[in-house]
Every structure is written in C-alpha cells, then in structure tokens.
C-alpha cells in the first residue's frame, strides 16, 4: 500500500549527503568569507582582496598573493578531508593555522558555482584555472594569465539548495552587514597584511568598502577601518591574569587540560583597545565589538556581556568599542566545538569572567575621566 511505501527507509544518494554535510560547514555568507580569508592567511598572503558582487548574492571572490597551490595537489584540493595542514588529531592541540578540516573547498563545490585560479612563484605570469565537479573531483584545468597567489571564486552560493538560497536572498542586507563585521575583525587583527573589501551592486561601479595597508600594528588597522576619530576615543587594554587551575570551579575534571607549569598557575592575557570611560562619549554601536583567541576571530558573547556591563555606568546609551585578543595556552580551550570553528570553549571561563570584571572596573575607575578629547590630540 501507499503507507508502506512511504515508510520505507531509503539510503540518501551520495550527492545529497555531501550537500547536506556541506551545508553544515558553509552555513552563510560569513562562513564563505571566513574560510577563504583564513585559507589566504594560511598561505602566507600579505595582500588579500575580497570582492563581493551584488552584496555576495552573485559572487564572493577572494584573491591573495600567497604561496599558490602546487600542481601535485590539484586533484585532491577540493576533496573532502583533504588538507595540507593537519594529519593527525593530536596536531589539533598545537594548531597554528586556521584551517584543519579540509572541508571548506569541498563544501563550496557542492554549494556553488566554484572555481580557482592559482599560480606559484615559479609559474611566472602563467596561472592555472581549476574547475571541479559538485563532488569536489577535479573536472579540468586550463592556462590563464595570473600573478602569484590564489583567487577563489564562489558564484551563486546555495544554488542547489533552493530553500537556503531563498533565505539568503531575503536576508541579504543583514547577511552582508554581518560578513563585513567579520571581515573588519580579520582586517583589524592582521598586521603586516593589506586586506581590502569591495562590492559591486548590479551593473554599478565597484566601490571599496574598506582597506588596511600593511600596517605594523592593530591601532593603524583600526584607524584605516573606523577612522582616526574612533582611535582617539580608545584606551589600551593590557590585562594579565594568573589562573590557578586547582582553585576554580570544576577544576577536577578539566585541570588536566592545562599544561600545568611548575607553580600550578596559568596566564591569560587580554590585549587590545576599548572605549575610554568618558560619560557621553561612546558613539559606537555593538557591531564594533571584536573578540579573538590567540588572534583568531571568534564569538564570545559572555565576554562581550562582561565588558558591556562594566562599561554601562559610564555611558547608559552607547556600547563601547571593544577589540579584545585573548592570549592563552592552546591547551586551555577547544576550537573544535562547532563546524564553523567560530565558537571557542574556554576551559576556565567562569573564573576568567570574574577576574575580568574586576580588572576592567579598576581600569575604567583609574582612567582620568575629565580629560577632554582636545587635550589628547
Ligand atoms: P583546510 O584549510 O582545512 O586545509 P580547505 O578545504 O579550506 O581545508 O583547503 C584545502 C587545501 O587547499 C588547503 O589545505 C590548502 O592546501 C589548499 N588551499 C586552499 N586555499 C588556498 C589558498 N588561498 N592558497 C593556497 N592553498 C590553498
Ligand atoms: Mg581552510
């Protein structure tokens, strides 16, 4: 009967499985930008250009001047779990590069019209265009003109997931703003690198959204992106905490995750910039809050909450600008908790938050709130 037929469980076609899994790695415009920019940084690029077409709805292209892809890797580069960066699970604990799963390119093949142009130093002005099957299998190569580096082109994202595509079209304004915020974070944290972002809407002119310029420090990056005025309203963050693994809640289960030093303590530093605690001065909006763990941009809502709480008495209407980079031992957190690697699990979060609030309170209270902006110039 019809009922029996409906209840029959069928194995999902391999191609659909690949698409479903890919949809968990690449969930939105942000994941695309994040994966491609991280790949460019991993390749040692000092110049990265991110180009949006129609806010990313038509295309996102990321061009870098990094090492390029070796011809020996052309066949495997977009196959699932192919990565040149990690071969055993143990390597995860000493992770230096951003990528480590070998899923991004493979997922993009399944979810978009996708190609790569790449050239290595020895190739001269000659590059190779790589085209792939939906499965990530190399379909063909051709010779094109190219400078050293790699350009990855992602067109019509989610073209074969109609519901996801509709959602993207509907929310494109919000998605585009979210991706710019993420790119701001990469551009602010990346010193010695030029990151530029442009957008071309319909057949209009390409407009540069922002660009950094190989700056030696994060302050100049912030000035490039948010303007020198924003910079003048900031004070340096330079906090240091000695965490004692035996004293904190839940220490017994997770203390072993810390590579404990002789004295049994572990250091966490928070460096960066935060709004001066001057009443009425903060003009910043919450999307000017960036968090990093060992220079890796990530979502840290609890940390953001702590900053905002301590800042609140100084300015009831505006949120502070926050650029906070947590420096800690790679054994003190897990990166591998979400497919997009943006959520990071700190083993010592509760104790850190308490310490942070106290330290921030002291920092703000000790700051001379009467200094008018003109005197700082
Ligand atoms: P992962 O970054 O986890 O290794 P990806 O799917 O993002 O996985 O990339 C697969 C491989 O493709 C990388 O390991 C790297 O060797 C190569 N690759 C990707 N992007 C670039 C790039 N921009 N420049 C040079 N090589 C790249
Ligand atoms: Mg990667």
Instruction: Write down the mean pLDDT value for the chain.
Output: 84
Of all ligands present, the nearest one to the C-alpha of 81 is 1
Tens-digit pLDDT profile for residues 137-178: 999 999 999 999 999 999 999 999 999 999 999 999 999 999
- Ligand 2 centroid to Cα of residue 280, in Å, is 43
**pLDDT band, very low/low/confident/very high, at 249 (cuts 50, 70, 90):** very low
| CATH number for the segment(s) 14-219 | 3.30.565.10
Give me the CATH code for the 227-376 domain, please.
3.30.230.10
3-state SS, one letter per residue, for 166-223:
HHHHHCHHHHHHHHHHHHHHHHHHCCCCEEEEEEECCCCCEEEEEECCCCCCHHHHHH
How many other β-carbons are positioned within 10 Å of the β-carbon of residue 134? 16
Give the mean pLDDT of 231-244: 89
The whole-number pLDDT of residue 318 equals: 82
Q: Which ligand sits nearest to residue 150's alpha carbon?
A: 1
Q: Kindly list the distances between the CA atom of residue 137 and the CA atoms of 111, 148, 329, in Å, as whole numbers in the listed order.
A: 14, 24, 38
* pLDDT given for residue 337 in this prediction: 58
- In this chain, the answer to whether the domains covering 14-219 and 227-376 adopt an identical fold is no
Closest CA to 293 of 259, 268, 275, 274: 268
Using CA atoms in the order 265, 270, 271, 275, what is the torsion angle rounded to 10 degrees?
Answer: -150
Alpha carbon of 68 to ligand 1 centroid (Å): 10
Compute the distance between CA of residue 20 and CA of residue 111 in angstroms, rounded to an integer: 9
271: Cβ–Cβ under 8 A, 6 or more apart, which residues? 236, 237, 238, 239, 324, 325, 327
Counting ligand 1 atoms within 8 A of each CB, the residue from 42, 120, 147 with the most, and so the one to mutate, is: 42
Q: What's the DSSP call for residue 343?
A: B
Ligand 2: centre distance to CA 354 (Å): 35
Confidence of residue 315 (pLDDT cuts 50, 70, 90): confident
Ligand 1, atom 2: nearest CA belongs to which residue? 99
Q: 143 alpha carbon to ligand 1 midpoint, in Å? A: 20
DSSP-derived secondary structure for 72-140: GGTTTTTSTT--SS--SGGGGGG--SS--SS-HHHHHHHHSEEEEEEE-GGGTTEEEEEEE-TTS-EEE
Confidence of residue 374 (pLDDT cuts 50, 70, 90): very low
ipTM rounded to 2 decimals: 0.99
Greater pLDDT, 263 or 238: 238
CB neighbourhood size of 141 (10 A): 15
pLDDT digits (tens, 9 = 90+) for 57-100: 999 999 999 999 999 999 999 987 767 664 444 544 445 555 55
**Pocket probe mutation, ligand 1, options 25, 39, 128, max atoms within 8 Å of Cβ:** 39
Asked if 188 and 213 touch (Cβ cutoff 8 Å), the reply is no
The backbone torsions φ and ψ at residue 92, rounded to the nearest 5 degrees and listed phi first, read -55, -35
Dihedral of CA atoms 108, 335, 213, 234 in degrees, nearest 10, equals 130
| Residue ID of nearest Cα to ligand 1 atom 9 | 102
Distance between CA atoms of residues 322 and 320, nearest Å: 6
| Domain range annotation of the chain | 14-219, 227-376
CA 285 to chain centre: 20
For 373, the 3-state DSSP assignment is helix
**pLDDT for the residue numbered 341:** 58
Q: Kindly list the protein residues whose Cβ atom lies closer than 6 A to any atom of ligand 1.
A: 35, 39-40, 43, 64, 66-69, 77, 83-85, 99-106, 150
Q: Whose CA is nearest to atom 16 of ligand 1?
A: 84
Distance from C-alpha of 37 to C-alpha of 49, rounded to nearest angstrom: 9
Joined tokens for residue 7: 């209840």
Atom 23 (ligand 1) nearest CA: 40
Q: Are 58 and 77 in contact (CB under 8 A)?
A: no
Q: Which atom of ligand 1 is nearest to the CA of 68?
A: 25
Å from CA of 83 to ligand 1 middle = 6
Which residues line ion ligand 2, judged by CB < 5 Å? 39, 99, 104
Lowest mean pLDDT among 16-20, 235-239, 316-320: 16-20
Ligand 1 centroid from CA 288, angstroms:
29
Spatial contact of 168 and 29, defined as CB atoms under 8 Å apart: yes
17-61 tens-digit pLDDT = 777 777 777 889 999 999 999 999 999 999 999 999 999 999 999
Among protein residues, the one with the nearest Cα to ligand 1's atom 7 is 104
Distance CA 322, CA 288 (A): 6
State which of 105, 130, 147, 339 you would mutate to test the pocket of ligand 1, scoring each by most atoms of that ligand within 8 A of its C-beta.
105
Place of tokens 């690449």: 26
pLDDT of res. 152 = 98
């Amino acid at each position: 009967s019809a009922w029996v037929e409906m209840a029959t469980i069928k194995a999902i076609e391999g191609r659909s499985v690949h698409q479903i899994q890919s949809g968990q790695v690449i969930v939105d415009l942000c994941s695309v930008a994040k994966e491609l920019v991280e790949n460019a940084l991993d390749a040692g690029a000092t110049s990265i250009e991110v180009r949006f077409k129609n806010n990313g709805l038509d295309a996102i292209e990321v061009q870098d001047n990094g090492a390029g892809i070796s011809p020996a890797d052309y066949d495997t580069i977009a196959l699932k779990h192919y990565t040149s960066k990690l071969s055993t699970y143990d390597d995860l604990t000493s992770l230096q590069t951003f990528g480590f799963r070998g899923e991004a390119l493979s997922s993009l093949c399944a979810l978009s019209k996708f190609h790569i142009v790449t050239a290595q130093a020895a190739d001269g002005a000659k590059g190779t265009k790589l085209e792939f099957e939906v499965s990530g299998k190399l379909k063909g190569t051709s010779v094109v003109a190219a400078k050293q580096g790699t350009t990855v082109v992602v067109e019509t994202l989610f073209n074969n997931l109609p519901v996801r595509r509709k959602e993207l079209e509907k929310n494109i304004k919000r998605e585009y703003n979210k991706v710019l915020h993420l790119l701001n974070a990469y551009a602010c944290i990346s010193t010695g690198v030029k990151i530029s972002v442009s957008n071309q809407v319909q057949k209009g002119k390409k407009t540069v959204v922002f660009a950094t310029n190989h700056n030696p420090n994060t302050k100049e990056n912030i000035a490039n992106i948010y303007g020198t005025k924003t910079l003048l309203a900031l004070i340096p963050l330079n906090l240091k905490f000695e965490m004692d693994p035996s004293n904190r809640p839940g220490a017994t289960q997770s203390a072993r995750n810390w590579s404990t030093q002789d004295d049994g303590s572990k250091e966490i530093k928070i460096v960066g910039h935060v709004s001066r605690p001057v009443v009425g001065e903060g003009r910043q909006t919450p999307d000017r809050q960036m968090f990093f763990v060992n220079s890796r941009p990530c979502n840290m809502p609890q940390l953001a909450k702590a900053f905002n709480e301590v800042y609140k008495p100084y300015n009831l209407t505006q949120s502070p600008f926050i650029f906070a980079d947590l420096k800690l031992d790679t054994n003190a957190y897990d990166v591998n908790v979400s497919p997009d690697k943006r959520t990071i699990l700190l083993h010592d979060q509760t104790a850190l938050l308490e310490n942070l609030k106290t330290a921030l309170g002291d920092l703000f209270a000790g700051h001379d709130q009467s200094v008018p902006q003109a005197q700082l110039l």
